[in-house]
Structure 1
Amino acid sequence: MIVYINFFDSMLFRKCMPFDAGIHRRATSFFPPTPTTIQGAIRSLIISKSGINYSDWMKFIKNKSIQNNETKLIELKEKIGDNKSIGKLILKGPFIAKKIEEKNNFILYFNPPLDLVKKRKKEFGDIYKLKLVKTEIDKYSFQYNNNLKNLLWYDSAERVENIKEF
């Protein structure tokens, strides 16, 4: 099953940090959200659609006895898991996609692999794959790691750079 989430407003995601105010904290946003963020949102949606009170759910997963809806709570825990297990709900993604309405299909967008490069300062052109070459440690001096055995290398005098996007 594919779940397509279309945002109607700006969505900002950040790393898990306390909400304390102060000059020593700065939240930087990033995109796309982590899988755990999406997983939490979908699990929260399932809880809200199940008809179970959220406070009952929180008491139940903290191993406190609940008189009401215990059967439903057990079924929900098996389905979505709790703070110790993931349950039967397994998610893959998130993936950035564009929905094609007339075909009821999607175009998926992925970051290009880091071993693909293009000629520097050229917007369009050929794409080259870096090769793995063995190094001779005596020949090269590496500032941080002299145990480096292999390098990703483009075998040409032309300068290349990473591909930002396809």
Structure 2
Amino acid sequence: MAKLGDYIGGGGTIFSALVDARATFGARKLILEDQDRNPLSYTDLIRAAFALGRRIAAMTEKGERVGVMLPASSAGVVTFFALHAFGRVPTMLNFTSGIRNLKAACELAGVKRVLTAQKFIEQGQLHDLVDALETVATVTYLEDVREKVGLADKLFAAAAGALPLRFASPAKPSD
């Protein structure tokens, strides 16, 4: 069994650390709860990551840096692991940085797509920020992506949840 030190500058990936934690603490262990008080277990998180990640993978390329502009939430965590599971690089964007800095960060990191949530944009009144980001990247709303998750994605996620390291994209810790 790997230890945290193995992942920090060591031999495992962040996604494999999640899978190892599930093996250590139990597949049904509740680890995350959203603002509506809906808990997720390790297995729920892994399955959700595979279902969402499959849809995101269809619109991105392996190794691509994908911007993530979400609040600290279940959706943010699922998106983060979804990108890792499919060999994409989550590039976390802090909406409080301001328009100029976010655009510069996207350009510097080579971000071509930013994932966010309509609800987050509405609540934060961040429409001007989205308009500015759309000049350097495609802004995609997770609500739209989730609508496209179908039966095939759910079946894939169920199988991948049972054997996640067999379904995850091969990766190195440096990826």
Q: TM-score, normalised by structure 2?
A: 0.27
- Greater share of strand: 1
Return the structure number with greater relative CO, CA threshold 8 A, min gap 6. Answer: 2
- Greater share of helix: 2
Q: TM-score, normalised by structure 1?
A: 0.28
